[in-house]
Structure 1
Amino acid sequence: MSAPRSQLPALVLALAACTHDPGHGAEGNDDARDSSDEAVMTFGASDESSAGTPEDGESGTDDSPADTDAESADTDSTDTDSTDTDSADTGQPCTETTPGPPTDESYAFELGGQLAWSHDAGSPAGWFHTYDALDLGLPGPETPVSAPHKVHLLLPRDYDACGPGYPVVYMNDGSSSFWQGGSANKTWDVPGALSSLYAEGLLDAVIVVAVEPNDRDYEYSHTPWTGDLDPETCCAVEDYADYLADDLRAFVDAHYNTLGDPEHTAIVGSSRGGLGAFFVANDRPDVFGHAGCMSSSFWLGLDPVFGGDFEGGALADSLLVALLGETLADPDVRPQLWIDWGLIRTGGFHNEVIEEAATTRGIEMVGLLEQEYGYALGEALFGFEDPEGEHDEDSWGRRFPDVMLAFFE
Structure 2
Amino acid sequence: MGVPRALSLAPVSPPVRWPDQTLDVAALRAAGHRPVPFRDVVLKVHQRCNLACDYCYVYTMADQSWRDRPLIMEPATWQATAARMAEHAAAHSLPAMRLVLHGGEPLLAGLERLSRLVADFRTAFDGDCRLDVQIQTNAVLLDTELLDFFVRENIQVGVSLDGTAADNDRHRRRADGRGSFAEVDRALRLLGRPPYRDVFAGLLCTVDPSTEPVAAYEALLAYHPTEIDLLIPHANWSAPPERDAADWLISVFDRWYGAPRRETGIRLFEDVIALVLGAPSRSEQVGLSPVAVAVVESDGAIEQVDSLKSSYPGACGTGLTVFDDPLDAALDHPGIVARQIGVDALCATCQACPVQRVCGGGHYAHRYRPGRGFLNPTVYCADMLKLIGHISNRVDTDLRRRIRPA
Say yes or no: TM over 0.5: no
Which has the larger share of helix?
2
* TM-score w.r.t. length of structure 1: 0.32
Relative contact order, CA 8 A, sep 6+: which one is greater?
Answer: 2
